[in-house]
Structure 1
Amino acid sequence: MTAPAAPRTTSVFPPGSLVRARGREWVVLPGGEANLLLLRPLGGTDDEVAGVLPALEPVEPATFPPPDATDLGDAASARLLRSALRLGFRSSGGPFRSLAGLAVTPRSYQLVPLLMALRMDTVRLLIADGVGIGKTIEAGLIVTELLAQGSTDRFTVLCSPALAQQWKAELAEKFALDATLVLASTAGRLERDLPAGESLFEHHPYTIVSTDFIKAARRRDEFLRACPDLVVVDEAHTCVADDDAGRAGAAAQQRQALLTSLAADPDRHLLLMTATPHSGKTSAFRALLALLDPALADLPEDLSGPARRRDRERIARHLVQRQRADIRAYLDETTSFPDRLTAEEHYRLTPTYRALFDDVLAYARDSVHDTRGGAVAQRVRWWSVLALLRALASSPAAAVATLLNRSGVADADSVAEADALGQAGVLDLSDATSTDGADTSPGAQLDPVRARLLALAADAKKLHGKADDAKLANGMKIVKELLDGGDAVVVFCRYIATATYLAAALRADRRFAGVEVEAVTGEQPPDDRAVRVAGLADRSAGTNRRVLVATDCLSEGINLQNHFTAVVHYDLSWNPTRHEQREGRVDRFGQTAPAVKAVTYFGADNPIDSLVLDVLLRRHDAIRKDTGVSVPVPADSDVVLSAVLEGLLAAGAAPDQLELEGVGEAARADLLARWTSAAEREKRSRSLYAQEQIRPEEVGREVQAIRGSLGGPAEVAEFTLSTLAALRAPAHRDGDHYLAPTAGLPPALRSQLGVSGGELRLAETLPAPPEMAVLTRTDPTVETLARYVLDTALDPIGVDEADRPARRCGVMVTDAADVRTVLLLVRYRLHLTLPGRTGPRPQVAEEARIVGFTGTPTDPTWLDDDQVAAQLAARPVANYPRDLAAADLRRLTARLDGLTAHLTEVGETLAADLLASHRRVREAAGSTGNLVRRGLTVTAQRPADILGVYLHLPAARA
């Protein structure tokens, strides 16, 4: 018996070395200690990393064996081996190490924030791209890259509870990051399962946290103590507060206090995300910037001119802000966003509904002109009746619910606070927590005439149905026309009662037979909302016959572009930004329809709708068209209130006498002037802070090289389908996905896939139902197939020949070769030392290369890249006797040692190119050079591994 090898220390096995232990080959990883080796199986994944103690079990140096000349395959088996190798890589050696592990191929413009991050020791960025451009992908790229490069090992995403499930799904599907949800509904269970003395945020390295849950003082201190050193903040504009917001701004003040404490740690990476960084207020924008760099809080409002160039550059280092027009054509890519086709549709009140409107309006005027209780009480009553009028304009159901249950926010202490509370609950301010239809106006119980309210509620209840509710009747007609035109429709309502009422009417109408209808409101927890949307899409798969009726709980929540192509604003929002957010759920990056429809629906003789449409929505659209930017209504002015007040509750005016012309002209002119000024400031800021120092075209070749070395979506699909076919599981298309029978697969592979029979379902793209595999390189099914193909090719011991789809050798007779040509599939292991805040970080990466030559191993003529590419595209034209093929390969493989010098030279060139690539990226991103000088190195491990040898013979001489 052979004695076990003597124990070795880690110094004998530097990172990147190939060793043999436990009956297989491993690659030594950095991070081990004096007597502990961290090992990853050769060709394996990071999930299979093991720690080995050389003092207790033998670890020996290993060399990769050359291919066996008898291990013959055809051209297809050679392609499978190459694809399995490329798809198995999870860390590239290039400057963007995380791209190998992504299930999404980022657009070039989405790499700009990543380039900005790479130049910073501590990443502090405000990503303020417009709605639907892909901020989540941009933030995810930075998170995964910082993890891949070892700059952080934990992260937290702070967001609203409504967005938490969306974040979890995006991180899992696109970035293979399994984050834990920390919400009011989950925190108790998570804490009960913690080991003694360990924080929730120490135990779970990746977390998605409700900002409002964690901001409370009793939670905040523990979070600050154990918070990861990478924090992403979604909807960051909600985390800055106005000084005079009173109790209505208390939540924003708590959020700002939390973020200020997080930003106080100079070593914490901080990514802020928002589509509305200004929110109409320069002070709010400065407060956001101050979280990234305190010095930015003190800059003047006007930063134009040469004297302020350095200040502009300082902001530009931390801010990226683009709209669709800026990135539609970017570098060598054109990003297709759908055209938005807008339309206005209207209805007119029925006589019975109009009579109720008159009665409620009379009650509203009486309440507003009631002077009891002083100015504060009068202001409170004003907001309360305004909320009632909004509900009545929405639907009879919303009117009944509001009239019968008018409880909500406590009384205000001042007129200013009454206005702040009222604006938050009634005007749909974008930075206010959505009330989702509840009447939270101040003083909702001040009304002493309860009998009058009950009578109005009884009258409203009688108006349910199409006969008396013209809005419902015509709204259903609009939805039907969109469905008949091939659109899947989302209908947005402000009130829960209206959404429920409309959905019930659609389901009960025979014209909608065969149409799937679902209602999603704030009554359902965020997780349930996502399940309902997915269920609706699944039930109507293969057809667009689906309608989703939703409240504004979805206007900033689940992305809907994969399932819907039209939006109907059943209730007008009193904030144009909310309309943008609603439409942005469907009209966004990833929408495959060439156009999406947006229908604004209003009452032609409804005074509320008429004023809101004229004063707010049409003004917003006009400003956006004139200036090219979209900004919120200036929230620091009461002109919106004044304009609506003068028109709606003018003393003695009947509803049919409310004319827009001459009503509140001064207030409306003031509003328009302020709004236009805010838009112009926003437009100037985009040019002032343009990312001119970011020249991504300088690193475009590195991005393309990495994508080429890893294999794109087409190669993933071809590899997966070819492998299944070679293993007796041919897939066939079934609608928008593939089905493959699994009964014929090798038992070992079935076990690894976790299937025992039936069919494997394969979706082409994300998103996909949970039970489906996806044809992306990071999908567990694709990973398992790639690992199985590679393992059985490199270590065939005990594997039935019929269960080995890839081969390490092959001979092909082809028209692509004029002379005998040899191709070698070579794997290089690379040592990278990357700069970091705490010093250099050693890492190991793998790269695959195809090299080729004509002649003999002792006197080769090496092919250039174009010649190699031509050989890779070669196809066989004739058979070649197996015994002759084996003899030819035996002579060839016996002389591979003669190629070592050239393969080493290729490795050194590869390492030098990668080093230059890392430097170029950092320099292109504006680096001053300090990162480059901090020990950035790339070297190739020797010897390179020859995985495959393939001989191409010219057809004329075969």
Structure 2
Amino acid sequence: MLDEKYNTIDIPNATDDIRKEFAQYYIQRRRADVERWLDEDTPFPKRESGEFEYSLSNEYSDYYDDVLDFTLNLTKKEEQHEGRKRFRYWSALALLRGVMSSPAAGVEMLKNRIRNLEIPDDLEYTTSNPLMDDDFGPARDYAPTDVINKTAWTDYENRKLNDLAGKLEKLTGFKYDYKAREAYEIVKKWLADSDSTVIFCRFIATANYLGELLKTALEKDFKNIDVQVVTSEDPDELRKSRIEEMEDSKLRVLVATDCLSEGINLQDKFTAVLHYDLPWNPNRLEQREGRIDRFGQTAKEVKAFLLYGKDNPVDGVVLKVLLRKVREIRKSIGISIPFPEDSKSLIDSVMQAVLLNVKPSRRRNQIALDFDQVDEVKQKEIIATNAIQRAADREKASRSIFAHPAIKAGEIEVDLKQSDESIGDTKAVENFVTEALASVFGVQVSKNKKGYDLYTTNLPSVLRNILPDKPKLKISFHSPTPEGYIYIGRNHLFVEQLCQILLAGAIDPESQYRPARASVIKSRDVDIKTTLLLFRVRNVIEEKQTHNQLVAEEMLIWGYRGAASNMDVLSQDEVKTLMALAEAHSTMSKEAKADFLETELESISKLRKEFDDIAINRAEKLIESHERFRKLLGGTRYKVVEPILPMDLMGVYIILPDKS
């Protein structure tokens, strides 16, 4: 945020006045609003959402009953100290979540505890459940052993925890872990359909365990498959480099924790997401799926599926009470909603209701609990449903403010096209980069079916260091970018540095790289002498109320036929066409070129007033554009103090008719 007062704004829960104020600076539109706006193709993938269920193996089901018995006893034990009571409940919940995430996560929680830790009675216990998933920010993917360590275990409970850990260590692998086996079957099918997959896990131990299982199994099924694991154990730069290195493989599987659910976009390498562990906060669901379902995804359809245990009561209530409802609302209104206010305490209350009412069953693959018949769970579900609906209603109201329906494409289309003219549209960037690299630096840039092959050998180091260290790179100037290509847009550092080198070289006679600022050619593309000029125009713009100033700088092309004094001015389209297409059809001596150029420069020097008028006219048009946007969106009024005169004459290009 440029204005710090908006750094902490809570849009979903803000008052109408605050939202209206913020709407002056913020535009929110659905995908459907922009996909064909101004007749441009802005493609987004279609998201196929769904669920896969799995059943516990007989051995894991028996084990789960034992854990459930143990955790239920934890929550029922009498504790006078309120803090100790809360930590026993949280420990029970942590153990259930860890055991059902994976044997590895469960064992880590059961074994990695500090025995006989002294816990003073006056310890200030937090009142917020530390197991609840945060809305935003770095996710905590480590096992919550700090919670378990702060629980006062009896000698019997310590022996039981050790016994449970020993049993769980024997239930690893596809033979007993049907959850991992089901994930393998899903991913195997997706890979056969060429869907590279991201699998999100809750805990580091689960991600490492699952990654090892899948790598061993999938490498037997597919050649040249790359299976990687990324967790918060790795530094940020290592995570990014590990993902970038997967580019060379056509089939990819990335097992990750929520450390990747924000920040790193994966749409250029993956087309499917599998939620191995259900997030307890629906905001995390959208953050995970948004890594692949975003602009720049070249696949027409992406997959986003939940994996849940049909005999796991915690999975059941998370799915029924939270995730399905949020997905239904997204499908109906076309956008994702942020989960309601005070979401962590809401989810915590639902979990507590489940844990206090669940009952283990010795029947195979069946947990005897019908939540629809439990009043406390039903009440919590109603509260959650109402909160989700309020969030959806607020989102609809916000959209009516932030969508700015008053903006009509036709009213600003001309301004947007002029903006592209000034800063360069996709085609202009493509022509500039490919032609400059070839003509100024002698760099080989070869067209291929999807973009270009760029050979980096002759690139100056300041440009080469921006790109991956490879002798040959595939680049594209279009977004979405084909898989395996580097996107080079007008805001890319490579383009910026290339501009700086050429601009500096154009005015420095000692520079190694000097683009031509003047030329004289004979061409059959004109029937009268035609002169094209390239100006750098700068305008100082001032806010009327605050008097804050900014400088708007752009390149301006202009041209005329015949003598300069006649002012037979070319249209912008005519100038652009000649700039792009005019070719020399016969040769001229250096002396003849110099004479023509010297004569024309002398004539141009007498047009100072005409050129100043061009700069002033351009400045007025900029303010008219600003004013149109201000009327549509509200905001600051501007005025031009004055153009910086004279304009800088950057290039003179003379085209003489070729009569031969």
Give 5+ residue unaligned stretches, structure 1: 1-138, 144-229, 232-262, 264-269, 279-284, 287-298, 304-309
Q: How does 1:451-850 map to 2 (within 5 A)?
A: 451-509=159-217, 510-511=220-221, 514-524=224-234, 528-538=235-245, 540-628=246-334, 629-632=336-339, 635=342, 640=347, 643-645=350-352, 647=354, 649-650=356-357, 653-654=360-361, 655-663=366-374, 664-687=377-400, 691=404, 698-726=411-439, 727-732=441-446, 738-740=453-455, 742=457, 759=471, 763-764=475-476, 775-777=488-490, 782-783=495-496, 785-786=498-499, 789=502, 806=516, 808-814=518-524, 816-817=525-526, 819-835=527-543, 839-841=547-549, 843=551, 846-850=553-557
Q: Relative to 1, partners in 2 of residues 1:912 and 1:682: Cα closer, same or farther, differing over 3 Å? A: closer
Q: CA contact under 8 A between 2:56 and 2:179: conserved in structure 1?
A: yes
Q: Distance in 2 between matches of 1:614 and 1:359?
A: 25
Q: Which stretch shows the higher mean deviation, 644-653 or 349-358? A: 644-653
CA distance in 2, matches of 1:641, 1:741: 55
Q: In the alignment, does 2:49 pair up with 1:338?
A: no
Conserved in 1, the CA contact under 8 Å of 2:528 and 2:656? yes
Question: 1-side partners of 2:575 and 2:114: how far apart?
Answer: 75
Is the CA contact (8 Å cut-off) linking 2:230 and 2:256 kept in structure 1? yes
How do 1:308-323 and structure 2 match up within 5 A? 313-314=20-21, 316-317=23-24, 320-323=27-30
The aligned runs of 1:147-546 (5 Å cut-off) are 231=4, 263=5, 270-272=6-8, 277-278=11-12, 285-286=13-14, 313-314=20-21, 316-317=23-24, 320-330=27-37, 333-373=40-80, 377-406=84-113, 420-422=127-129, 425-430=130-135, 434-439=139-144, 440-441=146-147, 444-448=150-154, 449-509=157-217, 510-511=220-221, 514-524=224-234, 528-538=235-245, 540-546=246-252
Task: Deviation per CA, 1:180-235: give whole Å up to 9, x if none.
Answer: xxxxxxxxxxxxxxxxxxxxxxxxxxxxxxxxxxxxxxxxxxxxxxxxxx64xxxx
- 1:323–1:563 Cα change, 3 Å: same
Change (3 A) 1:643 1:850: closer
Residue 619 of structure 2: which of 905, 911, 918 is its match? 911
What SS is found at the alignment partner of 2:581? coil
State the match for 1:926 in structure 2. Answer: 634
Q: What is the alpha-carbon distance in structure 1 between the residues aligned to residue 360 and residue 65 of structure 2?
A: 11
Given residue 426 of structure 1, which amino acid in structure 2 is its aligned partner? L
Q: Matches of 1:785 and 1:641 in 2, distance apart? A: 54
Residue type matched to 1:854 in 2?
R
Could you tell me how far apart the structure 1 residues matched to 2:465 and 2:158 are? Answer: 64
1-side partners of 2:435 and 2:228: how far apart?
40
- On the 8 A contact 1:514/1:545 being kept in 2, the answer is yes
CA–CA separation in structure 1 for the residues paired with 2:649 and 2:339: 59
8 Å CA contact 1:500, 1:519 repeated in 2: yes
Secondary structure of the residue aligned to 2:247 is coil
Secondary structure (helix, strand or coil) at the match of 1:950 reads: strand
Q: Residues 947, 619 of structure 1: CA spacing in aligned structure 2 closer, same or farther, 3 A cutoff?
A: closer
1:562 maps to a residue whose letter is D
For the Cα contact (< 8 Å) 2:266–2:291, is it kept in 1? yes
C-alpha deviation, 1:456, in angstroms: 0.5
Cα offset, 1:901, TM superposition: 4.2
RMSD of aligned Cα (Å):
4.1
% identical aligned pairs: 31
Change (3 A) 1:893 1:561: same
Matched residues in 1 for 2:167 and 2:148: separation? 25
Query: What TM-score, normalized by structure 2, do the two folds share?
Result: 0.83
Letter in 2 for 1:337: F
- What amino acid sits opposite 2:521 in the alignment? V
Q: Do structure 1's residue 945 and structure 2's residue 643 form an aligned pair?
A: no
The farther-off stretch of 588-597 and 731-740 is 731-740
1:272–1:713 Cα change, 3 Å = farther
Map Cα deviations across residues 902-927 of structure 1 (whole Å, 9 max, x no partner). 33332332233234334444454414
What amino acid sits opposite 1:718 in the alignment? N
Once the two structures are superposed, the pairs formed by residues 38-57 of structure 1 within 5 Å of their partners are none
1:861-940 aligned within 5 A: 861-876=568-583, 878-882=585-589, 892-897=600-605, 899-927=607-635, 931-932=637-638, 936-940=640-644
Contact 1:372 1:378 in 2 (8 A): yes
> C-alpha distance in 1, partners of 2:279/2:408?
40
Contact 1:825–1:848 (Cα < 8 Å) also in 2:
no
SS at match of 2:327: helix
Amino acid at match of 2:132: L
CA distance in 2, matches of 1:761, 1:407: 53
SS of 1:949 mapped into structure 2:
strand
Q: Deviations over 1:456-496 (max 9, x none)?
A: 00000001111111111121121222222222211110111
Output the CA distance in 2 between the equivalents of 1:918 and 1:741.
Answer: 41
CA deviations on 1:510-534 (whole Å, 9 max, x unpaired) are 235532222222233xxx2342333
Distance 1:690 1:565 in 2: 29
Aligned to 1:494, the other structure's residue is in SS state coil
CA offsets 1:307-332 (integer angstroms, 9 cap, x no match): xxx78744644665544445445556
8 Å contact 1:407–1:445 — kept in the other structure? no
The residue identity in structure 2 corresponding to 1:707 is: D
Residues 718, 870 of structure 1: alpha-carbon distance in 2 compared, 3 angstrom cutoff: closer
Q: Distance in 1 between matches of 2:76 and 2:395?
A: 40
How many positions carry a matched residue from both structures? 637
Amino acid at match of 1:335: T
Supply the AA of the counterpart residue of 1:728: G
For 1:649 and 1:937, locate their aligned partners in 2 and report how far apart those are by CA, in whole Å.
71
**Given the superposition, is the C-alpha separation of residues 907 and 892 from structure 1 closer, same or farther in structure 2, using an over 3 Å criterion?**
same
Indicate the SS of the match to 1:587.
Answer: coil
What is the CA deviation profile of residues 566-603 of structure 1, one whole-angstrom value per residue up to 9, with x for unaligned ones?
11100111222211111112212332322221121111
Structure 2: unaligned runs, 5 residues or longer? none
User: Could you tell me whether the CA contact under 8 Å between 2:542 and 2:550 is conserved in 1?
Assistant: yes
Deviation at 1:402, TM superposition (A): 1.0
* 1:371 maps to amino acid: E
1:405 Cα shift? 2.5
Residues 531 and 559 in structure 2, CA contact (< 8 A), matched pair in contact too? yes
**Alpha-carbon distance between aligned partners in 2 of 1:638 and 1:791, rounded to the nearest angstrom:** 59
Measure, in 1, the Cα distance between the counterparts of 2:252 and 2:602. Answer: 65
- Aligned residue runs from structure 1 range 69-80, under 5 A: none
For residues 197 and 331 of structure 2, what CA distance do their matches in structure 1 show? 26
